[in-house]
Amino acid sequence: MPIPPELARILREHLAEDGTVEDGRIFRSERRGVIASTAYTEVWQAARLLAFTPAQVASPLVRRPYDLRHAAVSLWLYAGVSAPDVAERAGHSVDVLLRVYAKCIDGQQEIANKRIGNALAA
């Protein structure tokens, strides 16, 4: 999966410093076991309190870590990344991607018209 160079650097540093456990997992509990889903939720909620204003905390803004996935997929589509590429990165079929995220593509008619015009003029 392609990731931005800065994230690749952070991941390489983490692997160099901490390695993996025997089964290949990168992140693990203090006793090298599987991290409980409740631990993720607790840390996520604490991070939201530190990162957001009280109004944002009260809102649905990234209420769950999974919401970041939706935000990333939406951003990629809005940025003009092709649906097949976004689907591959997200682990979706193109059909599922477009059914779930079609609303993210709305409102880009002007951009689409420019691209079509540019292609026809070439």
pLDDT digits (tens, 9 = 90+) for 57-114: 998 888 888 888 888 898 898 888 999 999 999 999 999 998 988 776 666 778 888 9
Q: Is residue 83 one of the residues assigned to a domain?
A: yes
Cβ proximity of 57 and 78 under 8 Å: no
Query: Which residues constitute the domain of residue 99?
Result: 60-121
* pLDDT number for residue 27: 85
103 or 46, greater pLDDT = 46
Task: Please give the pLDDT value at position 79.
Answer: 86
CA separation for the pair 32, 21 (Å, rounded): 7
Looking at residue 39, its amino acid is: A
Say if 112 falls within a structural domain. yes
110 assigned to some structural domain: yes
Q: DSSP label at 22?
A: T
In a domain, 28, yes or no: no
| Within a domain: 108 | yes
Tell me how many domains the chain contains. Answer: 1
Q: Per the domain annotation, does 51 fall within a domain?
A: no
